[in-house]
Amino acid sequence: MNILLLGYGKMGKAIEQIALDRGHQIAGRIDADNYTDLTNLEPDDVDVVIEFSSPESAAENITYSLGRGWPVVSGTTGWLSRRADIEAICQNKKGAFFYASNYSIGVNLFFRLNKTLAQFMRNYPSYHVSMTEIHHTEKKDAPSGTAITLAEGVMEHLPTKHRWISNEAGNDASPVGEDAIEIESLREGTVPGTHTVRYDSDVDQIEITHTAHSRQGFAVGAVVAAEWIVGREGIFGMDDLLGN
């Protein structure tokens, strides 16, 4: 399978190594420095695109790829205000688009655990829910896409919560109403990603945490998604891949 990498930072390089280890070829490595090389690729040169670029360029990259008839697996976060437009383009082109805020199998199990815990907690309003996410200092968006997905999972099952509020470290905290989930974002060293969901009361605290030890789990999931999407048509996510 010929894979085009759109975005060749640390994540792109990790995906490349996994793809090569699994017997695939790299059709191109495109980042901001050689973006014009993208036009040199013919439709038949690429079987699938794996897009981990930047919030500023993701929608353009995905639109271009779908226009060329290439299935797209995207993991870039921070651009989702344009997601509906991208999905409409995908449907119009009869293409294939796979998006996940996090491709780690462990994180996706954590998403399910988070929803189950929220279901339990809906009967105990004395607990206040909040979140913390920690990532490396090069991550551009905050809160992380994974944290937003976690917040959405809580809101799905806690009827008193309708929105989330981002409180980045070093900024003045925004007031948090009873209907909001506070997400604290910390940027430290080379941390691949740590996410904590906590429920606090006057008498105790319950929390669940997922800690990534490296980018490898994300990279493996992205390559598996790329293998899975080739030959399909439609809009997909990790639940489709995992069969749930």
Q: Are strands 96-99 and 234-236 parallel, antiparallel or unpaired?
A: parallel
144 marked as part of a ligand binding site:
no
Per the residue annotation, which of 24, 135, 161, 195 is the catalytic one? 135
146 marked as part of a ligand binding site:
yes
103 marked as part of a ligand binding site:
yes
Instruction: Using alpha carbons, list the distances in angstroms from residue 3 to 30, 70, 90, 117, 208.
Output: 11, 10, 19, 38, 36
75 marked as part of a ligand binding site:
yes
Catalytic annotation on 210? Answer: no
Per the residue annotation, which of 10, 13, 139, 157 is the catalytic one? 139
DSSP state of 243: T
29 marked as part of a ligand binding site:
yes
Please list, in sequence order, all residues whose beta carbon lies within 8 angstroms of the beta carbon of residue 68, skipping any fewer than 6 positions away: 41, 43, 46
DSSP state of 136: -
Catalytic annotation on 139? Answer: yes
- Residue 21 is encoded by which pair of tokens? 């280890």
145 marked as part of a ligand binding site:
yes
Q: Which residues define the annotated binding site?
A: 29, 75-77, 100-103, 136, 145-146
Q: Which residues are annotated as a binding site for (S)-2,3,4,5-tetrahydrodipicolinate?
A: 136, 145-146
> Which active-site residues does the annotation give?
135, 139
Point out the annotated binding site for NAD(+): 75-77, 100-103
**Annotated binding-site members for NADP(+):** 29
